[in-house]
Amino acid sequence: MNPNQMASYRDFEIPGILAIDDKHELTRLKITTNTCSAELYLQGAHLTQWQPQQHQQVLFLSERSSFIKGKAIRGGIPIIFPWFGARTANTCDPRSDGPAHGFARTSDWQLVSSSMTGDHLTLSLALNANEVSQALGFEQFQVNYNLTIGSELELQLTVKNCSDRKLCFAEALHTYFLVADSEKITIEGLAGNEYYDKTDSFKKKRQEETLLTLRGETDRPYINTEATVVLHDPVMKRGISISKSHSNTTLIWNPGAELTAKMADMSEDAWKQMVCIETANALENAIILSPGAVHAMTAKIEVV
């Protein structure tokens, strides 16, 4: 970060609570309040740590993650926008080029405001069209990300269509949770829901079990569900509740041993320490916004 940029960030710092510095190539916000500690990178508006007081770290962050420009951090909460996975043509966008999971997670976001309300730090970040998005055909949109960070974590992702044509997009808060042993956790809240099994030729299935347990690679977008999901970790002796609004897709992902071995930014046994539970709108739940329209998706994460 050059000295001018650093000087402009100084206005957002809050003594004893919010400090802004560089880590490797990226600008980092370090947060310490009475109720939690956290870290966020402006690249991707990527929250990488959140630890409420009296609890262990909630988010998984790969020890092999790189913190370099243009490469997504592995862990924390990457923001996926405006497509999920590989880009595919849809009713308002014929193109299928571009990086996996869109450009938001590798773009530089602007810090718009920072303030304390009671024990909570509120941050507001924005992503507007940039050179990369324009080259990919996304010229007129605005994404805002508001985070309320304290003993609970509240996230709101708002997308505005600033163009005079329809805007079709998918989105996800691709949250990596830290667990003691991914084969010992259970996930509550998805019973009876339909999902696509990406490990079985994308077949549409329905979850019969009340509680989901993970065995091997698991990659499932559950569609048409707004339900709260609870991650039970008997070894860490904690539950994590993920409630949400205006999100109809929940994704569960764990790469398992084989896929993890092929991932340069994960250590060999990292799949045991994480599970992604993602608040999203993807596949048939993707959003179509009329010109001028706004869509806001929220997620609330609590240790219970």
| 180/263 with CB nearer ligand TA6 | 263
Residue 65: CB minimum distance to ligand TA6, A: 11
Q: Does 300 bind ligand TA6 (CB under 6 A)?
A: no
Q: Does 100 bind ligand TA6 (CB under 6 A)?
A: yes
User: Which residues lie closer than 8 Å to 135 by C-beta, 6 or more apart?
Assistant: none
Q: Does 239 bind ligand TA6 (CB under 6 A)?
A: no
Q: Does 85 bind ligand TA6 (CB under 6 A)?
A: yes
CB 46 within 8 A of CB 32: no
Residue 7: CB minimum distance to ligand TA6, A: 34
Residues 137-176 that bind ligand TA6 (CB under 6 A): 174
Residue 76: CB minimum distance to ligand TA6, A: 11
Question: CA-based diameter of the chain, in Å?
Answer: 57
| 233/278 with CB nearer ligand TA6 | 278
| 240/251 with CB nearer ligand TA6 | 251
Tokens of 204: 């549409």
Residues 20-39 that bind ligand TA6 (CB under 6 A): none
When binding is defined by CB under 6 A, the residue of 41, 103, 169, 253 that contacts ligand TA6 is: 253
Residue 79: CB minimum distance to ligand TA6, A: 12
Say if residue 82 is preceded by a cis peptide, omega within 30 of 0: yes
| 39/278 with CB nearer ligand TA6 | 278
Query: Of the candidates 162, 125, 198, 147, which has an alpha carbon nearest to the alpha carbon of residue 33?
Result: 147
Phi, psi of 133, deg, nearest 5: -65, -40
Single-letter amino acid code for the residue at 154: E
Q: Per-residue x/- mask for ligand TA6, residues 198 to 217, rule CB under 6 A?
A: x-------------------
Phi, psi of 248, deg, nearest 5: -110, 0
Residue 214: CB minimum distance to ligand TA6, A: 13
CA–CA gap between residue 41 and residue 10 (Å, rounded): 15
Q: Does 251 bind ligand TA6 (CB under 6 A)?
A: yes
CB 191 within 8 A of CB 209: yes
CB 108 within 8 A of CB 12: no
For ligand TA6, the nearest residue by Cβ is: 253
Q: Does 197 bind ligand TA6 (CB under 6 A)?
A: no
Beta bridge partners of 78: none
Q: Does 120 bind ligand TA6 (CB under 6 A)?
A: no
Tokens of 295: 């869509």
| 72/121 with CB nearer ligand TA6 | 72
When binding is defined by CB under 6 A, the residue of 101, 120, 244, 272 that contacts ligand TA6 is: 101
| 121/280 with CB nearer ligand TA6 | 280
Question: Which residues of this chain interact with ligand TA6, rule CB under 6 A?
Answer: 72, 85, 100-101, 174, 198, 219, 251, 253, 276, 278
